[in-house]
């Protein structure tokens, strides 16, 4: 297992290095930050002083070399906009996204497994058809449309929920609900399909013939063997949220890493953009590693 983790860490490290190089040079193509952070009538001397202070006068290769050197010492640079360490800014935003992801994926996982398992046990029944219909609608509906409709209905017309912020529990309802719908539909469909396959297995038929009750058959005997493909989808959806629910965070003014990335790109805050990319990539690597470890726990054959 240690050798496997080492190989995955090496592969992810190489990908991270390539990503940092690509983002570093592409971000510089967005323009000169001086035009955003100084008044239009700023003097030439002030502009030169700003560029010199942030190292923008040096050739790109020199800037990259300095960035790599600082990175090797654990220095991720300073935010141009906030004048504080870039990693501190990113970790603060990532904490909000992490809370949002944990709450959403916990609700999604429990709901999708229960509903998908019950739908699979009664294939073709009324419950199965209703669950399939709503899961397909949820998986197909774009997040931005659901978010806008939610704001119009619950905030504008009915005045029961706030449109932005994180001050109270009610501020979290709309962002969590919008992020809930799509992964719920996707995971429910995977759970249903996987459970249908497992429930048609010989050992499940034998358990039924022996008079085993429905609940143990579904949630004890069948669910464990049906979880491998489900874990993959759960991990992908969790990584997507951790990587930044950009649209949802932007629409609801949620101070997560997705909104931070968009704001930093628009404001050409290069150190924050790079730090956010690194944190997001590391989160995805850890999520994929957890998925692989969960595979080994659920299916002993994978360990060998």
Q: Which of 72, 103, 126 is the last residue of a domain?
A: 72
Same domain membership, residue 171 and residue 52: no
Q: Is the per-residue pLDDT at 220 higher than 80?
A: no
Mean pLDDT over the full length of the chain: 86
Same domain membership, residue 160 and residue 98: yes
Q: How many domains does the chain have?
A: 2
d(CA 258, CA 149): 21
Residue 291 lies in a domain: yes
- Position 228 confidence tier, pLDDT thresholds 50, 70, 90: confident
d(CA 213, CA 68): 61
The pLDDT tens digits for 151-207 are 999 999 998 999 888 888 999 999 999 999 999 999 999 999 999 988 888 877 777
Same domain membership, residue 200 and residue 121: yes
Residue 78 lies in a domain: no
116 lies in which domain range? 87-303
Q: Which of 45, 72, 99 is the last residue of a domain?
A: 72
pTM of the model: 0.84
Inter-helix orientation angle 257-266/86-121, to 10°: 130
Q: Which of 47, 72, 97 is the last residue of a domain?
A: 72
Residue 183 lies in a domain: yes
Residue 79 lies in a domain: no
Closest CA to 64 of 129, 127, 17, 2: 17
For residue 105, what is the domain's CATH number? 1.10.3720.10
Residue 103 lies in a domain: yes
The pLDDT tens digits for 265-286 are 888 899 999 999 888 888 888 8
- Position 36 confidence tier, pLDDT thresholds 50, 70, 90: confident
Q: How far is CA 217 from CA 111, 124, 189, 191, in A?
A: 18, 19, 20, 15
Range of 25-34, 139-148, 172-181 with top mean pLDDT: 172-181
d(CA 176, CA 248): 9
Same domain membership, residue 39 and residue 147: no
Cβ–Cβ under 8 Å, residues 279 and 90: yes
- Position 232 confidence tier, pLDDT thresholds 50, 70, 90: confident
């Amino acid at each position: 297992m240690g050798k496997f983790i080492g190989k995955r860490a090496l592969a992810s490290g190489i990908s991270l290095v390539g990503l940092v190089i690509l983002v570093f040079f592409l971000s510089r193509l967005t323009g000169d930050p001086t035009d955003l952070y100084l008044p239009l009538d700023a003097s030439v001397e002030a502009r030169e002083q700003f560029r010199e202070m942030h190292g923008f006068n040096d050739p790109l290769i020199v800037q990259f070399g300095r960035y790599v050197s600082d990175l090797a010492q654990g220095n991720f640079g300073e935010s141009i906009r906030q004048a504080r360490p870039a990693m501190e800014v990113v970790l603060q935003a990532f904490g909000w996204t992490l809370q949002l992801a944990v709450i959403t994926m916990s609700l999604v996982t429990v709901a999708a497994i229960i509903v998908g398992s019950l739908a699979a046990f009664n294939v073709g029944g009324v419950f199965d058809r209703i669950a399939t219909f709503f899961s397909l609608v949820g998986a197909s509906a774009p997040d931005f449309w659901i978010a806008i409709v939610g704001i119009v209905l619950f905030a504008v017309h009915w005045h029961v929920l706030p449109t932005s912020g994180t001050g109270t529990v009610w501020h979290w309802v709309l962002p969590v609900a919008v992020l809930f719908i799509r992964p719920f539909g996707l995971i429910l469909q995977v759970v249903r399909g996987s459970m249908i396959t497992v429930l048609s297995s010989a050992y499940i038929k034998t358990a039924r013939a022996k008079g085993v009750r429905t609940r143990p058959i579904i949630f004890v005997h069948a669910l464990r063997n049906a979880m491998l493909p489900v874990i993959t989808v759960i991990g992908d959806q969790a990584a997507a949220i951790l990587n930044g629910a950009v649209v949802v965070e932007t629409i609801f003014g949620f101070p997560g890493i997705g909104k931070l990335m968009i704001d930093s790109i628009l404001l050409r805050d290069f150190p924050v953009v790079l730090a956010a990319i690194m944190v997001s990539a590391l989160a995805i690597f850890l999520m994929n590693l957890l998925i692989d470890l969960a595979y080994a726990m659920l299916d002993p054959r994978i360990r060998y």
